[in-house]
Amino acid sequence: NAAFKSLTGYTDHAVVDRIADDLQLWNDAAQRVELETEIRERNGIRGHDVRLLHKNGETLDCLVSAERISVDGTPCVLWLYQDITARRRGELELVEAIDAVMKDANWLSRSIMDKLATLRNPRAGSGTTPPTTELSKREREVLELICQDLDDVEIATRLDLSRNTVRNHVARLYAKIGVNRRSAAIVWAHERGVGA
């Protein structure tokens, strides 16, 4: 239809009577195969995040839903794509802005930090608690002190540890929670009620 042609840049001639393999539409062919398997098993899918390719090679962020249907007795799949590229770009810009602010977050009040954490991950305030990772007692102590804006030297003094030991705890903590900087660790902690 016109919306699909507008989204992908393909013409009727390029898509009519073609199968999905004929179009180089999927950024990740393995993801397409995975979704097709799920469609066969469950007769459809709803709201999956995918990356498609415009005919010109530009990447498109989309939500995809699909349903198995029959057209004149021939089994088919009806695919629905919702372009969320602009929204995703806006979300990334917001996260970058929040990260920039949080690099020097010691002047921000706790309530503003909590609001920024919620903006960065809106699902955190939706009543569902994000998954937590099992932290050791020491890792939790280090994380709580990071949330108080203490640097490695101050944490070492407070916990009566060497600076290198603190660095090791911080590195393990970052790996465990999937972050690579203090501002992200603070957001992760606030989303889970640690250090609040």
Q: How long a stretch of residues is the chain?
A: 196
Comparing CA positions, the residue from 121, 100, 106 lying closest to residue 188 is 121
CA atoms of 159 and 138, how far apart (whole Å): 9
Handedness of CA 148, 152, 157, 160 (dihedral sign): positive
Residue 188, H or E segment: helix 182-191
Comparing CA positions, the residue from 92, 90, 85 lying closest to residue 8 is 85
Determine how β-strand 59-71 pairs with β-strand 44-53.
Answer: antiparallel
pLDDT at position 105, please? 60
Q: Residue ranges of the domains in the chain?
A: 2-86, 95-191
- What is the model's pTM? 0.47
For 120-145, the pLDDT digits (tens) are: 555 544 444 444 557 888 989 999 99
Task: Name the pLDDT band for 193 (thresholds 50, 70, 90).
Answer: confident
Q: Which CATH class is domain 95-191?
A: mainly alpha
> Domain 2-86 carries which CATH code?
3.30.450.20
- Asked if 95 and 120 touch (Cβ cutoff 8 Å), the reply is yes
CA atoms of 36 and 123, how far apart (whole Å): 28
Task: Name the pLDDT band for 115 (thresholds 50, 70, 90).
Answer: low
For 50-104, the pLDDT digits (tens) are: 888 888 888 888 889 999 998 899 888 888 888 888 887 887 787 777 777 666 6
Handedness of CA 62, 68, 71, 76 (dihedral sign): positive
CA atoms of 115 and 98, how far apart (whole Å): 10
pLDDT at position 126, please? 47
